[in-house]
Chain A
Amino acid sequence: KAGVTQTPRYLIKTRGQQVTLSCSPISGHRSVSWYQQTPGQGLQFLFEYFSETQRNKGNFPGRFSGRQFSNSRSEMNVSTLELGDSALYLCASSWGPNNEQFFGPGTRLTVL
């Protein structure tokens, strides 16, 4: 099976712009979660989608949003970018009773 894929791998934006990141989960996985990873805060949970519905949401402002399509692919959007949004954004698909997660390589977002 192919692993989790994320596009693009690298992105440079300026403050005030918006960005959309894409994630394709492992075939058969219906749950997709998004995380933000920074050196200072570590890995922080953004949100989880299951069967096109947001099932869980972390403590991030409304500028961060996401959605999931019928084929389980997911996108996350960040509007009105701030310098502090610079981070590695990771997507994970999961399955099973223990929700074992499989991560993609991430999208490195730099906000200038």
Chain B
Amino acid sequence: EVQLVESGGGLVQPGGSLRLSCTASRFSFSRHWMNWVRQAPGKGLEWVANIRQDGSEKYYVDSVKGRFTISRDNAKNSLYLQMKSLRAEDTAVYYCARIGDCTGGTCFDAFDMWGQGTMVTVSS
């Protein structure tokens, strides 16, 4: 089955660190920009970070710059999010999401595949 599966979530104290993983199955992982999107309890979706196919470009939402690092290992079909200096406001379900293929030379920038999410709770 074509899918994305996140892991690594859990309970962490404020100031602590956590590393999320996302493993891709049955598609050409290395062809796609990959993203992390989060959703705080009862709140909307927030884009967190993304990374180019070869890892040469990375972008972050302002609230996580300097604290979170996105990376990937195309040989392992895996995406990662290293989170440090965690705050209560980082508490959320973290989703891994794929940007779909370009079609006929046009790139539509849509998140066409999502994982099931992994919960991160930052609390003492």
The answer to whether A binds B is no
